Structure 1
């Protein structure tokens, strides 16, 4: 079975399997903490209403058969516990079908979540996690060498991920082609991090160098993955360094970290030993115990053929002038198209939600609700939340740039604030009313920009904002009910 085994990638398998499992831990923790107020029985977009109008064949999920908030909690806890065993490497110590079964459970459970998650789960990294979890399931256990065909499929995934992101930028916004995209991006990205303002204030010539380096990393370097050994290992290392730069400059959920983990699949054992040897770590790889079972080989080859066949869709997408960004071509989220920031917003608009307990809204004193991640308080330093995903905060960014799809949940969100719904309030950083219901709420628009160094020294603010009018005027429960009925 020498043709089937990739003996020189044992460390890569361990890193990728455990890394992908770690991301699943975060994903299921988010299910436990956020799913109920967003999508539960009384959520902003309740799953029962979705499954009533969307058939199972269009969005396969165990929640089509039955749904309850308690079942969601069971799914979340099972996902966390199974993923933790994989992070610890326990299933990997058994026969090759054991990690396959464990990752299969994670994939099936998370597919059930994503397929009913609607706009709150409409992100490219959801499909990326599902595809990654499906593929690493077939890498086997410590008893056998990693199957070479599965490794090639992982390299193909990383190539699609990086090349798709590079092409969508080049074909999309001219700011990427004239190297000016980072004049705006650090300031207008969905969720700035604690260092984003410092990145934004870098000299503009350096921003142009950043964009050029990004193009090289995404449009040229990925082809190095096609040359296994030192070339592919070097290409993967360049991608890892680039992704770490992105980690420092913003909050993109687990997209960057999962890309780093997947890129490690292309680093061979010799390169790992050399790199770790530089820091005094001596790594010894135990040889596989024996040949893989024939049934395992047959299953892996069948999956390989399936993924090669499904690859025709993303390949055509990469070659198309009308390239789709973050597209899943099947309901199982296997072999998808990826990309990010095909267009760059030039200014930042924030929706600031306010409430008051005064009787008359026109003369009221308004108090702001503070979200965990998105900008609000102009003095507050943005926090680093990635790789954790704050779904409500991301939805508020899309709402601010004019996404009509977000309005379906925003009106119910205002209603939950008027009710002082505890589950909803736990998604926020600060409730100005201490758990008591306000009389009125409204949505105010502001233009935000990073404060210059001089402004920061003078007024102590990290942001400067200007009033941009009202998005939703003052509403109480009665008015909101009429709005909701008229949607």
Structure 2
């Protein structure tokens, strides 16, 4: 048992490199939120976080502090939300510079956890939880890359990849079994960029082979993580290749970069030493054997490991079996999820066959209508799909889910329409163009279009990246399925 708490000298250089690169991902995540958080969940935002905190406290009292863990219980004013995103950016820069790395990692975890809770629907994504768990584990990585912590990083990457693959099989979506997924994916994903248009033009046989590669990388490659060194290196390089392919064809913020970063732990110092400058080769000195940190670190890391394993195994069982967890296991799993630990992952388990785009329009007289324009989601047919990694425009992304007409999507979308009707500057500032900057519109409507990529010939002839077919006025149109 004592052996699992020993420092693994094969991962000292890997650990230092991982923390430096994690700082860059944290920086991208916080900076991306800094220009959005007030418009999304500020006091005049789409879903004011103040309302949720107030309602939760009225219903649960101080127990709500544990149910919704975040620092904004102290203050949830707009300045606090904005300060948290800027503080996170600053802490990420200090971590990158090597200044008080453990303290910075603790602060980064607390700040991002708080913003994730504040973000509600807008930050309830798997990459947000992946960053939280990777960031939490990194707190224990500083100076002491023990065998237990390295295993937990392996376990995190294993869950991310394998559960993503299993979810595709369990979903019953026929496109995965027939290897036709990529015939739809590039034009139906939330925010395609220009690479997606070119990928969509590839021959059917190549797209089917790429689909098979995705399934191989998610269902078989994860098993290599716990095999001897040559298998782990193969898994790391293969997974990285797949992630680079996704980056080249998809705007998925920082999740693919973070997945590549987690693959570092499938390598070792001997492998990466050949790729890094000589100044990086010197390992950090070991901690004194009788320091306070060395006495308590095994206990704390052991408890954290036990909690993560319990939550992740429980939630994984629930996902695979489809059965509810018994109490008190369900409460423990819920707590883990609320703190971003032990999450299950199911990236694109089902594939959309059609892209439904919403066009929000306003009018002063009900006759002449003017369209609001989003920053990045498809709109004008001739606008080139933008490459925006690692940024995630949360509003643009969330609008992609609204055509399903799920109740929770309609709820926040109605709040968006209410803010647009009042011309709320915090919300209209999230858009690329507000046609009613002088005074609010008297009427609003939402039109639904089916968007498809143009062919190479259509692109040459029209100059458009998209073609659109009018489907009707929302929500009086059939919901998009899935």
Q: Report if aligned partners of 1:350, 1:447 keep a CA contact under 8 Å in 2.
A: yes
Alignment partners' CA distance in 1, 2:346 and 2:447: 31
Which segment is superposed worse, 221-230 or 443-452? 221-230
Which residue is equivalent to 2:443?
440
| 1:51-107 superposed Cα distances (whole Å, 9 cap, x missing partner) | 12333332222223432111112212221111111122223xxxxxxx332211111
Which segment is superposed worse, 418-427 or 257-266? 418-427
Other structure's SS at 1:377 match: coil
Q: Give the deviation of 1:265 after TM superposition.
A: 2.1
Which residue is equivalent to 2:193?
193
1:381-392 alignment runs, 5 A limit: 381-392=384-395
1:334-349 alignment runs, 5 A limit: 334-349=341-356
Decide which of 437, 458, 461 is 1:458's aligned counterpart: 461
Which residue is equivalent to 1:423?
426
| CA distance 1:70–1:186, change in 2 (3 Å) | same
Q: Give the deviation of 1:200 after TM superposition.
A: 1.0
Q: Give the deviation of 1:36 after TM superposition.
A: 0.8
Does 1:82 find its partner at 2:91? yes
Does 1:265 find its partner at 2:265? yes
Q: Give the deviation of 1:286 after TM superposition.
A: 1.5
Q: Report if aligned partners of 1:127, 1:328 keep a CA contact under 8 Å in 2.
A: no
Which segment is superposed worse, 12-21 or 331-340? 12-21
Q: Report if aligned partners of 1:154, 1:262 keep a CA contact under 8 Å in 2.
A: yes
Alignment partners' CA distance in 2, 1:136 and 1:251: 26
Structure 1 gap segments, 5+ residues each: 92-98, 474-487
Alignment partners' CA distance in 2, 1:389 and 1:328: 26
Which residue is equivalent to 2:45?
43
Which segment is superposed worse, 295-304 or 209-218? 295-304
Q: Give the deviation of 1:337 after TM superposition.
A: 0.7
Q: Report if aligned partners of 2:423, 2:437 keep a CA contact under 8 Å in 1.
A: no
Q: Give the deviation of 1:192 after TM superposition.
A: 0.6
Other structure's SS at 1:430 match: coil
Does 1:285 find its partner at 2:315? no
Which residue is equivalent to 1:484?
none
Which residue is equivalent to 1:119?
121
Alignment partners' CA distance in 2, 1:428 and 1:256: 26
TM-score normalised by structure 2 residue count: 0.88
Alignment partners' CA distance in 2, 1:418 and 1:152: 52
Which segment is superposed worse, 418-427 or 181-190? 418-427
Other structure's SS at 2:474 match: strand
Decide which of 318, 333, 346 is 2:340's aligned counterpart: 333
Which residue is equivalent to 2:155?
156
Q: Report if aligned partners of 1:230, 1:271 keep a CA contact under 8 Å in 2.
A: no
Alignment partners' CA distance in 2, 1:419 and 1:65: 29
Alignment partners' CA distance in 1, 2:232 and 2:268: 8
| 1:107-157 superposed Cα distances (whole Å, 9 cap, x missing partner) | 11221221232211111111111111100111013xxx5222111100100
Other structure's SS at 1:353 match: strand
| CA distance 1:31–1:328, change in 2 (3 Å) | farther
Which residue is equivalent to 2:246?
246
1:201-216 alignment runs, 5 A limit: 201-216=201-216
Alignment partners' CA distance in 2, 1:233 and 1:223: 12
Other structure's SS at 2:95 match: helix
Q: Report if aligned partners of 1:171, 1:321 keep a CA contact under 8 Å in 2.
A: no
Which residue is equivalent to 2:359?
352
Other structure's SS at 1:295 match: helix
Alignment partners' CA distance in 1, 2:280 and 2:83: 39
Q: Give the deviation of 1:452 after TM superposition.
A: 1.0
| 1:408-457 superposed Cα distances (whole Å, 9 cap, x missing partner) | 22223223223332222221122234554333321110010001112112
| 1:378-403 superposed Cα distances (whole Å, 9 cap, x missing partner) | 00111112211111011110012323
Alignment partners' CA distance in 2, 1:126 and 1:287: 31
Alignment partners' CA distance in 1, 2:436 and 2:221: 52
| CA distance 1:90–1:400, change in 2 (3 Å) | same
Q: Report if aligned partners of 1:168, 1:339 keep a CA contact under 8 Å in 2.
A: yes
Decide which of 71, 88, 104 is 1:62's aligned counterpart: 71
| CA distance 1:330–1:470, change in 2 (3 Å) | same
| CA distance 1:449–1:160, change in 2 (3 Å) | same
Which residue is equivalent to 1:294?
295
